[in-house]
Structure 1
Amino acid sequence: MRIHPWLWLSLGLGCASARPGPVPSPVVSQVRAPLLGQVLGAEGATLPGARITVVPRAPSWDVRTDAPVALTLSGPEGRFEVASLPPGAYGLTAVTPGGVLIVGEPLKVEAGQPVRPIELREGSESPGLLEGTVVDEVGAPVPGAKLRIVRPGMPFDDVALLEASPEGRFRVRSGGGAHNVVASAPGFTPLMQQVAKTGEPVTMRLERAADETMSRAAVAWMKETGVPLKSVEAGQGLEDLAPLKQVLKDTRVVALGEATHGTREFFQLKHRMLEFLVTELGFTVFALEENFAEALAFNEYILEGRGDPRHLLRGSAWDTEEVLALIQWMRRYNEEPSHPKKLKFYGVDMQFSPEAVARVNAYLAQVDAAYGAQVQEPLAVLALPRSGFSRQPEERQKEVGARLDLLAQRFEAERARYVRQSSAAEWAVARQNVRVLRQFVGKVLQEEEELRDRAMAENLLWILEHEGPDTRAVLWAHNGHVQRGPGEWREHAAGRHLADALGPSLYVFGMAFHQGAFLAFNMDAQPPPGRKGMVAFSVPPEPEDTLDAALAATGWPVFALDLRALPRAGPAYEWWRRSRRAHDIGFIYSDGGYPSLAQIHALRLYDGLLFVERTTAARLNPR
C-alpha cells in the first residue's frame, strides 16, 4: 500500500475505514454570525416546509451519533434563518416537502465577518429514489425512528436528518452513488447501513440493546474458552498457541485483520501468528495489503536474498521496524536448509503501480519487443506521478483500458510463444501484472471503492492457484478488508468474496484493542511542527457497552478467541449476535479527533478475535 494523497479515501475506508473519539467543538471564538437562506425548486419556485440540517465540516464529527449544529424548517417563500453560528466550516442540506435531498456548497464562517446568504436549490437532473423501512428484530415497524442520510466524503460527509413515518418508512430522492443510512430509536442500537445505489428499497433492522445478564454471560464464556497468550512477540515459543492448532487445522487461508494500520502489537502478533502457522501447520504464502507488483521485490529478497528490505519498504505504509523484522525472519527461515518448502511473499492490492508498468514493459521487451514498443506510450500514462492517470480525460482513460484489454488478449493468444522465450511462471506473473493494471483502470473508471476489495480477493485466489492446490496462505490486511460479512463502510469486502470461494476453509481473525497509541497519517491541513505525516495518536479506554471494553473485562492483556465455538443459543449468544461499537481506525487520523468507533457485528464479520488490551504506536524505520 503506497502513500499517495489521492488514495486517502480508499486508505481511510479500506483500509478502511476510520471514524472516532471525543468530539471537539469546531468553535474557535464566541463571536457569532446569523445565517439566512432560501430553499428553491429546480425551476426557482420557493419551497416552504423544507427541513434544513447544519453540521460542522470537521473530521471529529461523527455522522452516526453527534448532534447537528442546527435543525430548522423553511418558512414562507422558502426562507430560513439560523440565529447564530460560531466561526468554523459547515455543511448544509435540505430535504424538501417532496422528499428531495439538496446538498449545499460548504459554508465558512469567519470571526467578525458577515455570512453570505445561502441558496439551496434542487438540481435539474432527476434524482434517484432512496427508500426503506425501519423494523425491529422480528420485522415489526419502528415508528418515528430517527434517520440520517449520509453522502460519504473524505474527510467530511454531507448529512440530512429526517424521521420515519408512523409505519417506519422513509423516502427521499438524492443524487446517484453510494449513501449511508443511519437509523436509531430509543431502546435500540443505532445502525448504519450502506446503500450502494438508489432505486432499491432497504430494510433497516434495529437490534434491542443487550441486558446485564447477557453481558455477564458473554464475559464468562470468553474466560472459559479464550486462549490467553503470554506475548505478542515472535520467538517466544508456541506452547500457548497450541489450542489454535485444532481450530485452524482445516483452513487454507487465515486472514489477520487489524483495527489500525499502525499498531506495534498488532504487527508483532501477526508476525507471531505467521511463525505459528508456518512451523506448526505448513503455511507457505504470506499475502499483504500491498500492490502485487511492488511486493514481487520482497519475494525476490525472501527467496534469493536480492535487494535490501529497508530500501524496499521506503515509501510504503509498512515502513516500520515490526514489518522489517517479519521480512527478515522470512528470509532467515528460507535460508535454513532444513526447510525445503520455502516461504513466498505476495501483494494482493491493485492501486497506482508504476512497478507493474515497468515489469510488463520489461517482459514484453524480452518476448515480444515490437508489440511492446507499441504499448509503451499508453502504459506510460499509468505511471504518471501524483494521480496523473486519474486526472486524464475519461476518453483517454477508456482508451488505455481498451489497450490493456487487447494486451491481455495477446498474452493469451501468444502464450505458447511467450512461455518458450521465458517460462510458464514468468508468463503467469507478467499476465497477472497486466490484470492488476486492468483492475486499477476499472476502479478509476467506475469510481467504486468496493472494486478494490473484489480485486484483492481475486488476486489472492490467483496466488493460491499459481502456487498449487496444497498451498496455504496468511493474509494481512485491515479488519475492514478481511471481514467476511457486510459492515458499516463496506457491503462486499475482500473477505466476503473469499468466503464465497473458500467457505469454511477461510478463517478470519479480527484484531481489537481497548486503549493506547497507534501510528497514522495526520490528515490536518496545517499540522503543528513535528505533527506532519506519519505520527502517533492515542485513544482512551472505551465505554462499557463497547466490544473492546467487554474483551478487556476478561482481565487478559493478550488473548485469542474462537467465535466458531460459541453455542448458538443462550445469553452469551444473545450478547454476541448483537452488534456493538469497537475501534475501527484506518491509515489516517486527525489531531482534532476523528471518530474511532464503528458499529461491529463480530459474529457476522469474523471467525475469531485477537485482542490486545493496551497498544503502542508502530515504530518507523530510520530514514
Structure 2
Amino acid sequence: MNKKRIITMVSTALLVTGCGEVGNAQTVAVENSGQSIQKNIVKSIQSQANPLKTIDPSKPFEDLKPLKKMIGSAQYVGLGENTHGSSEIFTMKFRLVKYLVTEMGFTNFAMEEDWGNGLKLNEYIQTGKGNPREFLNLLYPTDEIIAMIEWMKDYNADPSNKKKIQFIGLDLKELDQGCFNKVIDYVRLHRPNLLAEVEENYKELSAFNGSTQEYMDLAPEIKEKFKANAERVARLLKDENKQANTEIVSPEYIWAKATASAIEKFTTMLIPNDYPSMLKLHEQYLADHAMWAQETFGGKTMVWGHNIHIAKGIIDEKLYPYVAGQFLKERLDNNYVTIGSTTTKGNFTLYSEYDPSTGGKITTRAIPQNVNSFNYTLGKVPYNMFLLDNRHLKGQAEKWVKAKRPLLSIGGQIFPNESTYFDKSLLEQFDIIFHIRKTSPSHIK
C-alpha cells in the first residue's frame, strides 16, 4: 500500500468514522425488498422490549429502571451512536449518562474526543473555566452535547455530590499545544531541575500541530526521534513515583504524567507504515485511556463514542479491522457492557466535504433505507423508542439478533461507492440497544 493511500485511510478513519453511499432516492436496493417484515418477529421483539417514554434528561427515570438490571455489576459501559449527527440519539445518551451518574455511581466520562480537548473539558466541568464549545472537535460541538457538559459542571459544583465527574478525552487524532503545556507547567512548578530537559525534548515535536496528515509526511528518522524524545519525558515523569511520594496523588501530577504518556502514544501510533498496525494501536490506546480512568479515579466508567468504536465486535472490517470495544471486551469480559443505538428514519448532520487542514462544510441528509436491515425491523415495533437486551431474548427475537443482516452505520462523512449497511449480528456487536424510530439532525454551530 503506497504512502498516499495510507495517509488517506488514516485521516478518514481517525477524523470521520464510518462511510456511506447516498443516491437520489436515499434507498439501498436489496434483494427481496418487496417482502413484508414477518409479524411474529416484530411481536417477539415488542413483547421483550422496554418502552422509553422520553429523551428528556430532566424527566423522571422510571422507564430507565430496567437498565440497572441489564448493566448489573459491570463497571464499564459503552454508549454508542450510529451516526455522529442525530439529535435524539445525543439527547438520549445524555439522559443515559445522567442516569448512570445519579442512579448507578458512574463518574468517569471517557469520550471519543482528543486527549488535549479532554483536559480542557475536564477543567471546565471542575472550575467553569473556558468555553466548552471551543473544546469539542468535528461534529461534537452540538447544543445537545453542550447541554450535557453544562449539567456535568453543575453536578460537580454541588457540594452534596462528593465524588466528582472526571472527563477524559480518549482520542489521539492530534496533539495541541495544551498537551505539551500540561507537562511543562507541572515540571516548571514542581521539578524545575528537569525543565530544560523536558522543554528540549518537546521543542521540535510541539512545533507541529499534531495532525495525522502532517505527521505522516515526516521522514521516518524524524518520527523515530520524536518518539524517543516523548518516551524520555514520559520516563522522567514515571520516575517521580520513586522520588516524590507527596506528589503522586496530586491531580497535577496525575494529569501531567498521563499526558506525557498520551504524547508518547501519539508518536508510537504513527510509526508503522501499514494502516492496520496504526489503526490497531489507535484503538488499543482508546481502550487504554478508558481503563486508565478507572485505575486512577476508581468508580465506574462510561465510554462515549460511535457505535463502531464501542462495539464488542467489528462492524466495518475495511476501515476498522480493530476497535476499542473489542479490546475492552477481551480485557474485561462481562465487566464491559455495550449499549448501541439504532434508528430507522429521519435526517442527520454530517460533512458534505472535509479537509483536515481547513475543516469541513456541514450539511444534512436523510437516513438511507434497507428493508432487510435490523433498523427497518426495529422501526416496525410499535414503540417510538425502547431498550432491548440482546443477551436475554427468547423465541423469534433471539434468532433474529443472532443472525447476520444489514446494520446501519454512518460516520462524519459520506463516501461514494461505499455501503452504509454492514452484514453483522446485532448480538455480536451490542449487549443492549436503544432504538429511536425517527431522528433529526443535531444542532451544531
Q: Aligning the two structures, in what range does the TM-score lie when normalised by the shorter sequence?
A: 0.7 to 0.9
CA distance in 2: counterparts of 1:585 and 1:357, whole angstroms: 33
Task: For residue 510 of structure 1, report the CA deviation from its aligned partner.
Answer: 1.1
Residue equivalent to 2:184: 361
Deviations 1:418-442 (A, max 9, x none): 5656854322321211222222222
Task: For residue 497 of structure 1, report the CA deviation from its aligned partner.
Answer: 0.7
Secondary structure at the counterpart of residue 270 of structure 2: helix
Larger Rg: 1
Deviations 1:109-157 (A, max 9, x none): xxxxxxxxxxxxxxxxxxxxxxxxxxxxxxxxxxxxxxxxxxxxxxxxx
8 Å contact from structure 1 (residues 381, 389) kept in 2? no
- For residues 523 and 462 of structure 1, do their structure 2 counterparts lie closer, same or farther at Cα, with a shift above 3 Å needed? same
Task: For residue 524 of structure 1, report the CA deviation from its aligned partner.
Answer: 7.6
Residue equivalent to 1:277: 100
8 Å contact from structure 1 (residues 513, 612) kept in 2? yes
8 Å contact from structure 1 (residues 256, 477) kept in 2? yes
* Structure 2 counterparts to residues 158-307 of structure 1, below 5 A: 215-307=38-130
Secondary structure at the counterpart of residue 412 of structure 1: helix
Bigger share in helix: 2
Residue identity in the other structure for 1:574: K
Residue equivalent to 2:376: 549
- For residues 358 and 236 of structure 1, do their structure 2 counterparts lie closer, same or farther at Cα, with a shift above 3 Å needed? same
CA distance in 2: counterparts of 1:307 and 1:593, whole angstroms: 42
Correspondent of 2:327 among 497, 502, 506: 497
Matched, 1:534 2:390: no
- RMSD of the TM alignment (CA)? 3.0
Secondary structure at the counterpart of residue 589 of structure 1: coil
Residue equivalent to 1:464: 294
Task: For residue 305 of structure 1, report the CA deviation from its aligned partner.
Answer: 2.0
Task: For residue 612 of structure 1, report the CA deviation from its aligned partner.
Answer: 1.1
Residue equivalent to 1:600: 424
8 Å contact from structure 2 (residues 220, 271) kept in 1? yes
Gaps of 5+ in 1: 1-5, 25-59, 67-185, 188-210, 526-530
Deviations 1:283-322 (A, max 9, x none): 1111110112221111111122222323434x54311101
Matched, 1:412 2:206: no
CA distance in 2: counterparts of 1:582 and 1:377, whole angstroms: 46
Residue identity in the other structure for 2:97: L
Task: For residue 222 of structure 1, report the CA deviation from its aligned partner.
Answer: 1.4
CA distance in 2: counterparts of 1:555 and 1:579, whole angstroms: 23
Matched, 1:437 2:263: yes
8 Å contact from structure 1 (residues 254, 474) kept in 2? yes
Matched, 1:563 2:385: no
Deviations 1:359-385 (A, max 9, x none): 223223332212123213233244367
8 Å contact from structure 2 (residues 82, 410) kept in 1? yes
Residue equivalent to 1:335: 157
Residue equivalent to 1:576: 401
Of structures 1 and 2, the one with the larger relative CO (CA 8 A, separation 6+) is: 2
Secondary structure at the counterpart of residue 56 of structure 2: coil
Residue equivalent to 1:588: 413
Deviations 1:441-469 (A, max 9, x none): 2221114222211110011001100002x
Deviations 1:77-107 (A, max 9, x none): xxxxxxxxxxxxxxxxxxxxxxxxxxxxxxx
- For residues 498 and 449 of structure 1, do their structure 2 counterparts lie closer, same or farther at Cα, with a shift above 3 Å needed? same
CA distance in 2: counterparts of 1:237 and 1:9, whole angstroms: 44
CA distance in 2: counterparts of 1:502 and 1:250, whole angstroms: 12
- For residues 385 and 452 of structure 1, do their structure 2 counterparts lie closer, same or farther at Cα, with a shift above 3 Å needed? closer
Residue identity in the other structure for 1:287: A
* Structure 2 counterparts to residues 323-402 of structure 1, below 5 A: 323-354=145-176, 355-366=178-189, 367=191, 368-383=194-209, 387-402=213-228
8 Å contact from structure 2 (residues 7, 216) kept in 1? no
CA distance in 2: counterparts of 1:401 and 1:562, whole angstroms: 44
CA distance in 2: counterparts of 1:7 and 1:517, whole angstroms: 30
CA distance in 2: counterparts of 1:440 and 1:386, whole angstroms: 9
CA distance in 1: counterparts of 2:149 and 2:11, whole angstroms: 23
CA distance in 2: counterparts of 1:419 and 1:7, whole angstroms: 43
Residue equivalent to 1:511: 341
8 Å contact from structure 1 (residues 357, 382) kept in 2? no
Residue identity in the other structure for 1:333: Y
Secondary structure at the counterpart of residue 154 of structure 2: helix
Residue identity in the other structure for 1:255: G
8 Å contact from structure 1 (residues 11, 17) kept in 2? no
Bigger share in strand: 1
Number of residue pairs matched by the alignment: 425
8 Å contact from structure 1 (residues 513, 615) kept in 2? yes
Task: For residue 7 of structure 1, report the CA deviation from its aligned partner.
Answer: 8.4
Task: For residue 499 of structure 1, report the CA deviation from its aligned partner.
Answer: 0.8
Secondary structure at the counterpart of residue 457 of structure 1: helix
CA distance in 2: counterparts of 1:612 and 1:547, whole angstroms: 13
Task: For residue 548 of structure 1, report the CA deviation from its aligned partner.
Answer: 0.4
Correspondent of 1:520 among 339, 350, 360: 350
Secondary structure at the counterpart of residue 307 of structure 1: coil
Residue identity in the other structure for 1:508: T
Gaps of 5+ in 2: 1-5
8 Å contact from structure 1 (residues 333, 339) kept in 2? yes
CA distance in 1: counterparts of 2:304 and 2:245, whole angstroms: 32
- For residues 290 and 558 of structure 1, do their structure 2 counterparts lie closer, same or farther at Cα, with a shift above 3 Å needed? same
Deviations 1:504-531 (A, max 9, x none): 1211011111111111111289xxxxx9
- For residues 484 and 546 of structure 1, do their structure 2 counterparts lie closer, same or farther at Cα, with a shift above 3 Å needed? same
Task: For residue 220 of structure 1, report the CA deviation from its aligned partner.
Answer: 2.2
Task: Give the TM-score of the pair, scaled to structure 2.
Answer: 0.87
- For residues 19 and 248 of structure 1, do their structure 2 counterparts lie closer, same or farther at Cα, with a shift above 3 Å needed? same
8 Å contact from structure 2 (residues 307, 341) kept in 1? yes
Deviations 1:52-79 (A, max 9, x none): xxxxxxxx9x9xx99xxxxxxxxxxxxx
- For residues 553 and 225 of structure 1, do their structure 2 counterparts lie closer, same or farther at Cα, with a shift above 3 Å needed? same
- For residues 440 and 376 of structure 1, do their structure 2 counterparts lie closer, same or farther at Cα, with a shift above 3 Å needed? closer
8 Å contact from structure 1 (residues 309, 324) kept in 2? yes
Q: Percent identity?
A: 24
Residue equivalent to 2:281: 451
Secondary structure at the counterpart of residue 106 of structure 2: coil
Task: Give the TM-score of the pair, scaled to structure 1.
Answer: 0.63
CA distance in 1: counterparts of 2:183 and 2:208, whole angstroms: 12
